[in-house]
Structure 1
Amino acid sequence: MILMSPAEPTSNRKLMWFGVALLAYLAVLMLPTPTGLSASGQVALGLLALVIILWISECVSPAASAVVLTGMAVLGLMGKPLAEGGRAMSSADALGQMLSGFSSSAVLLVAGALFLAVALKLTGLDRRVALLVMSRVGISPARLTLGAMIVGFVLALFIPSATARVGAVIPIMVGITTALGLPVTSSLGATLMIVTAQACSIFNMAVKTGAAQNLISLNFMQASFGRTLTWGEWFITALPFTLSMCAVLFVVALVLLRPHVPPVEEAKQRLADEVAQLGPVTPAEWRLMLVALLLLVMWSTEGVLHPLDTTTTTQLGIALLLMPRIGVMTWSQAEKQVPWGTIVLFAAGISLGILLSRTGAASWLAGVTLGQLGLDAMPVALVVGALSLFSILLHLGFASATGLASTLIPIMIAFAQTLPYGQDTVFGIVMIQAMVVSFGFILPTNAPQNMLCYATGAFSTLQFAKVGILITLAGLALLVLFSATIWPMMGVL
């Protein structure tokens, strides 16, 4: 009798999904070309079906999905003009189209920001910040919940990877729970883990450099509207919404999960001991703090005190961190910990979005989906609400916000440009949808940080969903409310 190893069923399932993805791509290509869609646009839609299945099923790694996407694009686009009336593309032309995303400055910004995250990890500054915050807030359900949110915000200012941020915080939250004599599965453990994950999604929306999906969205917006948002403009625009979401998360977590903290001093002493074990701040940490604060000042004053864009200032900061004696790490140390697959996926996602736009596929798809909802006769606030609901429902099938942004934002841009509003209002609508891409609140599978926290076993999917559904509904209501009140007063809409 032949025994199958445990890995074989998983491998077979992944192979099955990979086959489904390829069949979906071929099926789209073999259909009659719809009216109003070019042959290259049909290939772009086939590629969209391909990568959505690859991303949702996770049958291949993110970097591998980018390679598959590029290969299938070249095979599909060869011999077809990019736009009606153009010349037929060669394989080199098609490959050039699919490499266009790699030349985007947004890719360089993501890479630089990931190097900054590595610097924080190598020096241990991320852990020091988290421990100091948690040791200062005090031991009570409300204070610990607030402390978890403060840690998430501080780290979001400097670490663009949700996975890296949450990965640094989880051991500390587990340590606090066990120090109080409670199991990780206790109400306190569940609260701290859920709040850590949900707050991470909120702060992804608050900080332009806090998440790769923000940068990929802004890249599409720059290409379509000829303008973008500075770090400070993004932060100020998102601030009223994210503060409101933090208040909602705080109340929902305390009321719904009801965390319990026994009256003991052991947790305070344990936190104090862990802070003491860190020792004094090292010279490397001081240098990193200076560079990080300099970057924060440069980001927040972009276009006000200096003409340097976010990407340029980030690269200058990373250059300082890599310099001998002045810096805190070497290239050989950093390159081993940078998730290069994330960068490759990011660039490939931009390439797909550019292809959807240039071939007219995004406009066509927006017309046959969102265009059928009759939104052009609605007030702006209701348009924002309807589009946000569409995005939230679509996100239920995605584990990658970067993949969702690559798929959704070009379609949103194409649709928003058909609405009877001014250019500034259209830009604001798309910007809000770029924030909604981070609405990964309902299922653990909706975001990597959710899965990291779920892997601790602290909470069930049902617990997470209960909190997430309430936050999502509140967020949707706040989006409509702010679109009718605060954002128009701020000039966003």
Structure 2
Amino acid sequence: MTTDEVKQKPIGSKDTKKLVILIVVMICIAIAAFLPPPEGLGDKGLIMLSIAMGAAILWMTEALTIGVTGLFIIFLQSIFGILPLTQGLAYIAHPVNAVVLVGYLLAGALVNSGMDRRLSLTIISKMGEKTSQLILGIMIATAFLSMWMSNTATTAIMVPIATGILTMAGAKPLKSNFGKALFISIAFAANIGGMGTPTGTPANPIAIALLNNLAGIQLTFLDWTARALPLVILLIPAAWMIVQKVYPLEIKVVEGGLDAVKKQLKEMGPLQREEKRVVVLFISAVTLWLMDSFISLPSDWLYIVAVLLTIIIVTPKVGFMPWQEAQKLIGWDVLFLVGGGLSMGAGLKATGAIDWIAGILSSGMGSMPESIAIGLISAATGLGITIFCSLSGTATTFVPVAIGLALSFGWDPIAFAVAAGLSSSFAFLLPANAAPNAVAYGSGYFKTIDMFKAGVVMIIASIVIQGILAGFLLPLIF
């Protein structure tokens, strides 16, 4: 498209397309209310499925923002008598959002103190001047930070560090394989690291909450992390090797790169008082979250700790930031999305839609081994993120189906829910699939096709590794 064509393009054309999509979705849902349902599914079940598909379309096209789409689900459920409005809105205040909320605040405390940068530089300083080792060091730092804070914020932190290394190495944007490999690796590591803990990405607590709502099973912080961390540990070196295989590094050593990193660390000086306080905060948070795995505590301890930490972080004098500042860090749209997603899961269950879908899938999956079925669920979810372009939206859509399928055949619902939840983060194919990808893409060091080439191999490897772990190895432990 030429510059003149861009100038002549009507200003509101994009918004017009979004409005048309929204109207079409609403019309289709309205038509579904008058259609005879298929055998085995009630009238409200068909309507609920149409609402779910409509929400998926809105997530894919961004005709409505993700938060408003969550409200859209709750609104339609109340209009068609699927769930009362009060029940739907109550999901916005679901305890799972306490975990999502505190994740934003912990990230803010880490960034404000400067501890995030110190930690990143420290890890990189231990890796030497070889470019392959530098990439691994940056990936480890990115993945570790992403376990505790926003994947997007983590990527944004790593971009200037990586840019400095590339500049020192003389790597040219779009021409250097080192540049492509480094920034694609950062995006991959951010998505992988987010899988590791319930606070890593909203898709994780969504899966935990849906498992509780649909199967009555409550996972602790350690329950999730113990199942997710092995995947993180395996995927980081897998991504590291895949990206370098696809883009062989033309620069083997960054002369002075290690010295530059150490110089930045030296300029930061010893740990400052605020950094020490943040370290204590994180150690306290992890300790509290792990306690219910060793001693008897309330079943919702994960959420109780999240609320406690939120209060501490914004308490005057003893906290880490005033509430006015904290509000700017919170992704309110994600909180609405989580509420709408949980409401959708409840609606699918209440109308029998999940059982109906599971029944359809049973014809092809019921006779296969549980381990293979988990692999297929992982594959479907991992490919689903490419379409939905939303980790939370993908988890909201696929986790209920995975749980329903497991319950139908007497399989382990935990294994299926965790597999689908983790696979929601397999956003490796396109820059538009997840915010970390877009931030890394904004560096200008790689094109969409560059990520696609590495992403195809990465998705396949992730599905295979996840299938082996969830279907064969983890059942031997849990």
Fold conserved (TM > 0.5)?
A: yes
Q: CA deviation at 1:57?
A: 0.3
- Report the AA paired with residue 487 of structure 1: L
* 1:316 aligned partner: 308
Q: CA deviation at 1:6?
A: 5.7
Q: CA deviation at 1:219?
A: 0.5
1:335 to 305, 308, 327: 327
Partner of 2:219: helix, strand, or coil?
coil
1:413-471 CA distances to partner (integer Å, 9 max, x unpaired)?
112111144xxx23323322222121112222222211221222221222212212212
- Report the AA paired with residue 164 of structure 1: A
Q: Distance in 2 between matches of 1:53 and 1:162?
A: 24
Q: CA deviation at 1:400?
A: 0.7
Q: Distance in 2 between matches of 1:246 and 1:11?
A: 39
Identity %: 26
Q: CA deviation at 1:211?
A: 1.2
Aligned pair 1:174/2:178, yes or no?
Answer: no
1:53 to 57, 66, 88: 57
Partner of 2:126: helix, strand, or coil?
helix
Q: Distance in 2 between matches of 1:356 and 1:247?
A: 38
* 1:371 aligned partner: 362
* 1:462 aligned partner: 449
Of 43-52 and 15-24, more deviation after overlay is shown by 15-24
1:345-390 CA distances to partner (integer Å, 9 max, x unpaired)?
111111111111112122223323x2332x1111122111222222
Of 122-131 and 406-415, more deviation after overlay is shown by 122-131
Aligned pair 1:481/2:468, yes or no?
Answer: yes
- Report the AA paired with residue 107 of structure 1: N
Q: Distance in 1 between matches of 2:143 and 2:385?
A: 23
Q: CA deviation at 1:8?
A: 2.7
Partner of 2:214: helix, strand, or coil?
helix
1:239-269 CA distances to partner (integer Å, 9 max, x unpaired)?
3333222221121122221123365534334
1:271-319 CA distances to partner (integer Å, 9 max, x unpaired)?
2343344344332221111111111222234321462622222222232
Q: CA deviation at 1:100?
A: 3.1
1:351 to 330, 343, 346: 343
Q: Distance in 2 between matches of 1:234 and 1:125?
A: 26
Contact 1:44 1:361 in 2 (8 A): yes
1:115 to 105, 123, 130: 105
Q: Distance in 2 between matches of 1:343 and 1:486?
A: 34
* 2:44 aligned partner: 40
- Report the AA paired with residue 104 of structure 2: L
Gaps of 5+ in 1: 83-92
Counterparts in 2 of 1:111 and 1:274: CA distance versus 1, 3 Å: same
Counterparts in 2 of 1:29 and 1:175: CA distance versus 1, 3 Å: farther
Of 271-280 and 11-20, more deviation after overlay is shown by 271-280
Partner of 1:456: helix, strand, or coil?
coil
Partner of 1:205: helix, strand, or coil?
coil
Aligned pair 1:243/2:219, yes or no?
Answer: no
Contact 2:77 2:347 in 1 (8 A): no
Counterparts in 2 of 1:371 and 1:484: CA distance versus 1, 3 Å: closer
Question: Aligned ranges for residues 11-410 of structure 1 at < 5 Å?
Answer: 11-77=15-81, 82=82, 94-159=84-149, 161-185=150-174, 186-261=176-251, 263-305=253-295, 307=297, 309-368=301-360, 370-373=361-364, 375-410=365-400
Q: Distance in 2 between matches of 1:50 and 1:486?
A: 37
- Report the AA paired with residue 267 of structure 1: G
Contact 1:28 1:45 in 2 (8 A): no
Contact 1:15 1:59 in 2 (8 A): yes
Partner of 1:30: helix, strand, or coil?
coil
Q: How many residue pairs end up in the alignment?
A: 470
- Report the AA paired with residue 405 of structure 2: F
Q: Distance in 2 between matches of 1:262 and 1:377?
A: 51
Counterparts in 2 of 1:455 and 1:120: CA distance versus 1, 3 Å: same
Q: Distance in 2 between matches of 1:52 and 1:299?
A: 33
- Report the AA paired with residue 177 of structure 1: L
Q: CA deviation at 1:329?
A: 0.8
Structure with the greater relative contact order (CA < 8 A, sep ≥ 6): 1 or 2?
A: 2
Gaps of 5+ in 2: 1-6
Counterparts in 2 of 1:440 and 1:420: CA distance versus 1, 3 Å: same
2:430 to 423, 436, 443: 443
Q: Distance in 1 between matches of 2:203 and 2:356?
A: 23
Root mean square deviation, CA, Å: 2.3
Of 399-408 and 379-388, more deviation after overlay is shown by 379-388
Q: Distance in 2 between matches of 1:481 and 1:50?
A: 34
Q: Distance in 2 between matches of 1:18 and 1:224?
A: 29
1:160-204 CA distances to partner (integer Å, 9 max, x unpaired)?
x22222122222212221122222432122111111111122222
Q: Distance in 1 between matches of 2:332 and 2:315?
A: 21
Counterparts in 2 of 1:255 and 1:332: CA distance versus 1, 3 Å: same
Counterparts in 2 of 1:386 and 1:262: CA distance versus 1, 3 Å: closer
Q: Distance in 1 between matches of 2:239 and 2:349?
A: 37
- Report the AA paired with residue 447 of structure 1: A
Output the TM-score relative to the length of structure 2: 0.91
Output the TM-score relative to the length of structure 1: 0.89
* 1:418 aligned partner: 408
